Structure 1
Amino acid sequence: MTAKRSLKTRSGLAKAKRIVVKVGSSSLTSLSGGLSDEALFALSDVLAARHNEGTEVILVSSGAIAAGLAPLGLARRPNQLSSQQAAASVGQGLLMARYTHAFGAHGVTVSQVLLTLDDLMRRSHYANAHRAMERLLNFDVVPIVNENDTVASSEIRFGDNDRLAALVAHLVKADALVLLSDVDSLYDGPPKEGAKRIPEVRGPEDLEGVSIGRTGKAGVGTGGMVTKVEAATIAAASGIPALVTSAANAGPALAGEDVGTWFSTAGRRQPIRLLWLAHLARIQGTLTLDDGAAKAVGERRRSLLPAGIISVRGEFEAGDPVEMVDRSGAPIARGLVNYSSFELPRMLGRSTRELARELGREYERSVVHVNDLVVLNTVAPS
């Protein structure tokens, strides 16, 4: 079963055929940091009921690191990557055991799917991940997805499961993405200070001046509301609407009721590589463009040639993500560069024909090809 079109309004969630639901650590843990069986079972009850009504549900669940803290004698989430990996290794089994029990009470089978960014960036890995997810859904299984924290390095991590959920929604061609935390909606300021709920976000302009918090109440998550907004805008930019609300509102949200903040679709589906470039890539360098190149790349969506580059900053290799800016430093686009920071300086301001004559035919390539480039004013900012 594959979604053919995205939902136009939140009421469509009641009839959605395929939904990705993400739940954060703060919604599954107590203030002491351990897993809350009450919270986990309550969410599982809602999702299992929806599954048994015929909807394909994919759950992206945080909580593995939080579940591993107590067995390792840790009071808080560690900052050291190796300690996080150890906690995830211990906690992932505990988390899945509870989900297996909770969903099993409703006759629903669950599976564990662990992903790294590499699994979604490499074409062969992406195809394998897509086939595996489709097969699990064909078997009437609820896949439970988490970042593979035990082996993911700091260079290739998603950084949080909210953005992972946005990419999973893209991977499975979901009808919608539902992001659950301990906050019932996005507000135009701190909720305790009388801020107003924002019922819908139709584009970046609706978020101007909005103060967004970062951490969950239990201190076990990695992002808070800011990463949910980023994930929702990533999904919306690729044609998948998103809803941000609390885990307590999971039932009403999936029933299409007026809860949380709805992020309307803001564009067509994009290749996952371009979503990564726009929102997740760790930029390795900056290329400053002259006025002509800035217009060609930003307005006409052309490949970047060496003749239009004024200066190069940073250290990078061919294939690394770089940002292109205008003379004032304003970002224009991001892309995968075809030359290293060692090669580029001697190429600046010169035509590809001249470079090919002097340095060889391999220098006829563009610096950033249009197929490996995303213009930043066409997507929601990260």
Structure 2
Amino acid sequence: MSRIVVKVGSSSLTTTSGGLDLDRVDALVDAIAAARARGDEVVLVSSGAIAAGLAPLGLKRRPRDLPTQQAAASVGQGALMARYSERFAAHGLVVGQVLLTVDDVTRRSHYRNAYQTFAKLRELGVVPVVNENDTVATTEIRFGDNDRLAALVAHLVHADLLVLLSDVDGLYDGHPGREGARLVAEVTGEADLDGIDIARPSASAIGTGGMVTKVEAARIATGAGIPVVLTAASRAADALAGAPVGTRFTPTGRRRPTRLLWLQHASDSHGALHVDAGAVRALTARNASLLPAGITAVSGTFTAGDPVDVVDPDGTVVARGIVNYDSAELPQLLGRSTHDIAAELGSDYEREVIHRDDLAVIT
């Protein structure tokens, strides 16, 4: 038995006018149901809520402004889930909707709740259908695309495989429509990506991603020890059955806390803490927390709980972490020991600027 996370994009589920393509939805459900019949557990990360809401709202294209996107998601999410519920029920399967924001995989209490929810759904035999909570997520707390979300969910549920379904059948060494473009069957590391132009936008006006986000999602998953298959949605059944389709990304690392993966790969920094050489060594070589004594300067405006960069004396970002102080508080603490700070300002200030458990070293 394998645990598989499947991600499908908007362009693979909808028509060019924005409505759901029911035949595509049904084919995907059939492929997942077949995997379930073989004994595999499947989590579906599905885009399409915003796209499914376009036609009912009379919109011809995906809206660019966040409020209209949220309205379209509100309308479309119900239609999307109704179809999934109906089609999975035909196979005797129950679906459960899971809407996530960045906080759900980064903050400790939220992370535990999300993990427990997925565990209970698996125990009950439910097929989780996951999407970003587009109706309430703001620009500052969004994953940015469902490819990254899928990679983090794969890590969260301890998946054995991540399948990224797209409107192309894999990673090519050039534009897929160009004569002579070659499918890259396997990626074992960054060297295999040298010379490949992945900075191509989505071929659809409906989707938000492109090859960049899919390769980045593959980096996140494989860096945590999870293999990835990238292929066309029309090859979903073959991919789930283990057939050699599309592009396979082999694992390059091992499992680590999900919020650290998010910090390194998917977060937007709200500011920077400039540190001395001693602090760099402590963070990178000794896995230490960042203390006020090693900080030389602060830039940006942020509050406690925000992600910030840690910058070495040469201006290179060496780490990113969740800061425990507001930017306005830090200047008076720089270069001082936590003992001296606590003696002057009280015990509430006797804490790390970034705890080592909330810090990801950037390689």
Q: TM-score range by the shorter chain?
A: over 0.9
Residue 360 of structure 1: how far off its partner (Å): 4.0
Letter paired with 2:56? P
Report if aligned partners of 2:46, 2:131 keep a CA contact under 8 Å in 1.
yes
TM-superposed deviation, 1:219: 1.1
Unaligned runs of 5+ in 2: none
The reply to whether residue 344 of structure 1 matches residue 327 of structure 2 is: no
Cα deviations by residue, 1:186-243 (Å, 9 ceiling, x for unpaired): 1233223333322223333433443214533221112222111122211222222221
Q: Does 1:221 find its partner at 2:211?
A: no
Secondary structure at the residue paired with 2:55? helix
Deviations 1:68-125 (A, max 9, x none): 1011000111112111111111111211222223223333332322222233334343
What is the match of residue 73 of structure 1?
A: 58
Distance 1:104 1:351, change over 3 A: closer
What corresponds to 1:284 in structure 2? 270
- Deviation of residue 276 (structure 1)? 1.8
Moved more, 189-198 or 322-331: 189-198
SS of 1:252's equivalent in the other structure is: helix
Q: Are 2:163 and 2:228, in contact at CA under 8 Å, matched by a contact in 1?
A: yes
Secondary structure of residue in 2 paired with 1:70: coil
Q: Which moved more, 1:109-118 or 1:327-336?
A: 109-118
Q: Is the 8 A contact 2:17 2:55 kept in 1?
A: no
Q: CA RMSD in A?
A: 2.1
- Alpha-carbon separation, structure 2, partners of 1:299 and 1:103: 50
Counterpart Cα distance in 2 of 1:326 and 1:208: 28
Note the alpha carbon deviations across 1:119-161, whole angstroms, 9 max, x for none. 3334343333333322322332222111221222222222211
**1:161-180 → structure 2 map (5 Å cutoff):** 161-180=146-165
Q: Secondary structure at the match of 1:66?
A: helix
Q: Which residue of structure 2 aligns with residue 109 of structure 1?
A: 94
Displacement of 1:357: 4.4
Find the aligned partners of 2:320 and 2:227 in 1 and give their Cα distance: 24
Structure 1 residues without counterparts, runs of 5 or longer = 1-15, 378-382
Tell me if the contact between 2:218 and 2:249 (Cα under 8 Å) persists in the aligned partners. Answer: yes
Q: Secondary structure at the match of 1:191?
A: coil
Cα distance in 2 for residues equivalent to 1:247 and 1:295: 46
Q: 1:299 to 1:124 in 2, by over 3 A?
A: closer
Aligned residues: 362
Change (3 A) 1:357 1:107: closer
Aligned sequence identity (%): 62
Residue of structure 2 equivalent to 1:324: 310
1:51 Cα deviation after fit: 1.2
The structure-2 alpha-carbon separation of the partners of 1:50 and 1:88, relative to structure 1 and needing over 3 Å to count, comes to same
Residues 35, 241 of structure 2: 8 Å contact kept: no
- Report deviation, 1:325: 1.6
What TM-score results when the alignment is normalised by the length of structure 2?
Answer: 0.92
Tell me, in whole angstroms, the C-alpha distance in 2 between the residues paired with 1:290 and 1:202.
Answer: 36
Distance change >3 Å, CA 298–CA 27, structure 1 → 2:
same
Corresponding residue SS for 2:139 = coil
* Cα distance in 1 for residues equivalent to 2:201 and 2:85: 28
> Residue type of the partner of 1:273?
R
**Partner of 1:150 in structure 2?**
135
Q: Which amino acid aligns with 2:282?
A: A
Q: Is the 1:201–1:262 Cα contact (8 Å) retained in structure 2?
A: yes
Secondary structure in 2 aligned to 1:22?
Answer: strand
Q: Which residue pairs with 1:47 in the alignment?
A: 32
Corresponding residue SS for 1:192: coil
Structure 1 position 369 matched with structure 2 position 355: yes
Q: Is the 8 A contact 1:68 1:90 kept in 2?
A: yes
Aligned residue identity for 2:211? M
Match of 1:212 among 170, 174, 198: 198
- Greater mean alpha carbon deviation, residues 118-127 or residues 55-64: 118-127
The 3 A distance-change label for structure 1 pair 170 and 69 is same
Q: Which of 77, 80, 85 lines up with 1:100 in the alignment?
A: 85
In the alignment, is residue 203 of structure 1 matched against residue 199 of structure 2? no
- TM-score normalised over the length of structure 1: 0.88
